[in-house]
Amino acid sequence: MLITTKAIVIHSLRYSEADLIVTCFTESSGIKTYLLRNILKSKKGKLKKAMFQSLTQLEIVANHKNKNTLESIREAKIDIPYKNLHTDIYKSSISMFLAETLKNTIQEEEENIALYRFLSQAFQKLDELEKFANFHLFFLVHLTHYLGFSPNLSSTKHPYFNLLDGDFQIAETNKYCISNQNSELLKQFLKSDYDNFASIKLNKIRRQSFLEMLLLYFQLHLQGFRKPKSLEILNQLFS
């Protein structure tokens, strides 16, 4: 079936000398993986390697056979161009980390318009922002809403956050309950938006500690979730 859809590039992998295997989150069909033949050698083809950098937003014409095999892309064009997301070393490191995180979290081959719009807006904002050191933290906190395990906001007055249940509570009930700077930071990020999350002041130690807590939260709620390999690079750049 020939489909025209918007798509966000999640991952690209070189396959043989001239091909790419590209995973995209599509607006129409969720996660799809494509085999792009001869894209690394052909200079006259409609598809260019530069189009398939992490988090690039495309409009594609693709052939979806939906038979658990690699799909194909007939045409592609940039849907939303970025100014510096791929050229700024700090933004590109965040992009690499977020793309790897999404690769580990989104598996469904089905339409999810709300998630697509969240991702599309988030990456546009990252491209535009001048202060973005906390962006990946803000992003992960709010991504949980679209993945189905957002922290319960009805009891944020309580001091403990139960990572296992996703609830704020008055007392500690298991080893995954925390009551420290991280639980307070979580409340701040949950209540923040694109206009004010940068005002949350964090040093290297607090930023890394909070990120480790978030990744544990993801591990507890997503089967098979692994820490992104790009985490070390991210921590070094924002130290």
Mean pLDDT of 71-84: 96
Q: For the segment 121-141, what is each residue's pLDDT rounded down to a tens digit?
A: 999 999 999 999 999 999 999
pLDDT at 239 over 70: no
Question: Which range among 28-37, 40-49, 75-84 shows the weakest confidence by mean pLDDT?
Answer: 40-49
If asked whether residues 22 and 76 sit together in one domain, one would say yes
Q: What is the CATH number of the domain that holds 54?
A: 2.40.50.140
Calculate the average pLDDT of the chain.
94
If asked whether residues 41 and 111 sit together in one domain, one would say no
Domain that holds residue 203: 89-237
If asked whether residues 47 and 142 sit together in one domain, one would say no
CA dist list (Å): 1 to 64, 73, 90: 5, 12, 39
Q: Among 10, 11, 73, 67, which residue's Cα sits nearest to residue 38?
A: 73
Angle at 145 between CA 188 and CA 110, to 5 degrees: 155
If asked whether residues 160 and 94 sit together in one domain, one would say yes
Q: For the segment 156-169, what is each residue's pLDDT rounded down to a tens digit?
A: 999 999 999 999 99
Domain count, the chain: 2
If asked whether residues 96 and 64 sit together in one domain, one would say no
Q: What is the CATH number of the domain that holds 146?
A: 1.20.1440.120
Give the C-alpha separation, 37 to 49, whole Å: 11
Contact predicate 70/207, CB 8 Å: no
- Per cent of the chain over pLDDT 70 is 100
> How does residue 84 score in pLDDT terms, banded at 50, 70 and 90?
very high
If asked whether residues 118 and 7 sit together in one domain, one would say no
pTM above 0.85?
Answer: yes
Phi, psi of 215 (to 5 degrees): -65, -35
